[in-house]
Each structure stands twice: as structure tokens, then as C-alpha cells.
């Protein structure tokens, strides 16, 4: 047990999640290793976000176990300061607090969980903004004044505010143009290397799967049907995985496969 908690950041076993009559996640098991970037792919509406939200405790599960950094999720209450330092989440639309400026948004987790002087908090928050490639001037803008790409960067800075061990990213590059998406991929890679993060990324972006993810997991019919490096997934025989990675839009991946 001691060894396995050392090695894995997230362990999900035999998880079942559903709403009323519908079962979305059906006896799913998934391990995320420490320090890797795991990409999760799946059909739209196939339960990717549900899986992510269940791991972070926003959706109750029917059965199964979820272990994050060696702690059983059931044993920590929802509003516990511990969870805040354990993970940071980048929501699909950013979910920045609209009444606070970008800088205040990044400060928010610091203000709530630590006792710091105002000036130190400003410095730390500005540092995080600069790490994600924004200028200190951007910090004074309100979320409504930020572009899509900037919103995601601020949201990432907020997710990283407490230097969590795990970062969950929900479609980080959706709605960004290819250049901005590429920059964001580089940013995630760089931050992962400098901060030693474990990244759990839900994405449809084949390019970012190919360039930043160490491993890719494919979710279909409520189960993980394939997991491994991009090359391994391209060789998978599962019909859905084949359709996903060998469709017209995935042709750019083919040269690497052969």
C-alpha cells in the first residue's frame, strides 16, 4: 500500500456514477501516476466531465473507491481546507468569480486558506499571473474584460495558486485558436516540469493529446477501454478508439503511428 500511494496520484477503482435511471460511469478503474500528464478522451456526453467531477467530489458516486494522493475521498469532507491544497481545477469556462478582478481571483485561494500579509499575497498572485504568461496590468481587469485565452490563463493561475499536487483541466484548449492552444499546451508542459505537477486533462484536442500527454485514456460506454501512450492507443483494436484516432480529423497523427 505504501508503495502504491507513492506511485499513484489518483486511484479510481470500480467506480459507478449515475443520475436517476441512467448509468454514466460503469465499474470504471483508472490509475494516474504521479508526475504524469494524463489525457482523457471520450465521446461528447460520454461522461468525461462526470468522471472528473466525481473525482473532485462535486458529483456523488454510487459505489467504488477514489483515492487521491493516498487519501480516500470519502474521508474528507467537502469543505475542507485540505482539498484546496491538494488539487486545483481549471473549469471549462474558467469559472472565475465575476465580482473579483483577475488578481483577486488568483488571490482568493490564498486569502481563504493561508494567513498572509496583503503585500505578500499580491506578490505571490502576480507571480502566478506571470507564470501563466500574463502581465501584472492584466491583473486589474475583471473577468468580463478578458478574452477567452486570458480567462483560461487566469483560471490556470488560480488553480495553481496554492501549488497543488494535482491539476484537473477540463478542456483547456477548447475555444482557443491553434496558436493560443499550442501556447497553452507548452505552458502546461512547462509548468508540469517546473512544479512537478500531476495533470489530469479532459480534452478533445488531438494535437494537445499528441504533444503534451504522457498517457491517454479513452472512455467509452462508461469504462476505460484503452490506456497508454499515444502510439499504443493508435494501435488499439477497440472500435470506438479506432474511429476516434483514425478518423479524417486524426490523419495528422498517422505518420507518428507508423
Partner 1 sequence: MANVRELDTLGAWLLEKMSRLALETGHPATVVGIADRYTGLIEDVRQINRRKPASRVVQNPVLERLEAVGRSTFNAAEDVSVFLQMLGALGSACVGVLKRPRSLRFKSLVYHLNQVGWQAIPIIALVTFLIGAIIAQQGIFHFRKFGAESYVVDLVGILVLREIGVLIVAIMVAGRSGSAYTAELGSMKMREEIDALSTMGLDPVEVLILPRIIALVCALPILAFIGSMAALYGGGLVAWFYGGMSPAIFIARLHEAVSVTHFEVGMIKAPFMALVIGIVASSEGLRVKGSAESLGKQTTISVVKSIFLVIVLDGAFAVFFASIGM
Which parts of this chain interact with partner 1 (CB under 8 A)? 53, 56-58, 78-84, 87, 89, 91-93, 95-98, 108-109, 112-113
User: 88, 100, 92, 90: which is closest to 144 by C-alpha?
Assistant: 100
**Distance in angstroms (rounded) separating the CA atoms of residues 122 and 134:** 15
| Residues 6 or more apart whose Cβ sits within 8 Å of residue 195 | 160, 163
Q: Is the Cβ of residue 108 or residue 142 nearer to partner 1 in the bound state?
A: 108
Q: Is the Cβ of residue 107 or residue 236 nearer to partner 1 in the bound state?
A: 107
CB of 36 to partner 1, least distance (A): 21
Q: Is the Cβ of residue 69 or residue 207 nearer to partner 1 in the bound state?
A: 69
Q: Is the Cβ of residue 160 or residue 216 nearer to partner 1 in the bound state?
A: 160
**Distance in angstroms (rounded) separating the CA atoms of residues 218 and 48:** 9
Q: Is the Cβ of residue 155 or residue 209 nearer to partner 1 in the bound state?
A: 155
CB of 229 to partner 1, least distance (A): 29
**Distance in angstroms (rounded) separating the CA atoms of residues 35 and 40:** 16
Max distance between CA atoms of the chain, in angstroms, equals 56
**Distance in angstroms (rounded) separating the CA atoms of residues 84 and 122:** 19
Q: Is the Cβ of residue 149 or residue 227 nearer to partner 1 in the bound state?
A: 149
Q: Is the Cβ of residue 114 or residue 207 nearer to partner 1 in the bound state?
A: 114
Cα separation values, 56 from 74, 76, 87, 114, 156, Å: 11, 11, 8, 21, 16
CB of 1 to partner 1, least distance (A): 26
CB of 181 to partner 1, least distance (A): 21
Label the pairing between strands 198-202 and 37-42: parallel
CB of 11 to partner 1, least distance (A): 19
CB of 8 to partner 1, least distance (A): 21
CB of 74 to partner 1, least distance (A): 16
In degrees to the nearest 10, what's the CA dihedral of 9, 154, 47, 23?
90
Query: Residue 45: helix, strand or coil by DSSP?
Result: coil
Amino acid at each position: 500500500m505504501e508503495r502504491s500511494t507513492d506511485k499513484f496520484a489518483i486511484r479510481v477503482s470500480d467506480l459507478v456514477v449515475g443520475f436517476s435511471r441512467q448509468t454514466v460511469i460503469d465499474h470504471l478503474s483508472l490509475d494516474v501516476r504521479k508526475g504524469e500528464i494524463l489525457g482523457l478522451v471520450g465521446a461528447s456526453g460520454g461522461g468525461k466531465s462526470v468522471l472528473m467531477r466525481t473525482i473532485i467530489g462535486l458529483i456523488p458516486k454510487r459505489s467504488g473507491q477514489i483515492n487521491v494522493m493516498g487519501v480516500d475521498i470519502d474521508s474528507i469532507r467537502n469543505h475542507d481546507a485540505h482539498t484546496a491544497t491538494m488539487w486545483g481545477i481549471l473549469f471549462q469556462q474558467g469559472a472565475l468569480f465575476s465580482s473579483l478582478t483577475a488578481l483577486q481571483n488568483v488571490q482568493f485561494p490564498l486569502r481563504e486558506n493561508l494567513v498572509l500579509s496583503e503585500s505578500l499575497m499580491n506578490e505571490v498572485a502576480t507571480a502566478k499571473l506571470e507564470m501563466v504568461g500574463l502581465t501584472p496590468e492584466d491583473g486589474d481587469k475583471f473577468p468580463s474584460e478578458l478574452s477567452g485565452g486570458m480567462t483560461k490563463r487566469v483560471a490556470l493561475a488560480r488553480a495553481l495558486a496554492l501549488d497543488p499536487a494535482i491539476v484537473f483541466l477540463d478542456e483547456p484548449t477548447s475555444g482557443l485558436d491553434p496558436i493560443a492552444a499550442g501556447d497553452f499546451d507548452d505552458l502546461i508542459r512547462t509548468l508540469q516540469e517546473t512544479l512537478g505537477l500531476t495533470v489530469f486533462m479532459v480534452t478533445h484536442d488531438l494535437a494537445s493529446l499528441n504533444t503534451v500527454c504522457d498517457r491517454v485514456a479513452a472512455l467509452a460506454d462508461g469504462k476505460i477501454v484503452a490506456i497508454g501512450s499515444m502510439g499504443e492507443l493508435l494501435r488499439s483494436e477497440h472500435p470506438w478508439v479506432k474511429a476516434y484516432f483514425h478518423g479524417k480529423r486524426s490523419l495528422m497523427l498517422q505518420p507518428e503511428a507508423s
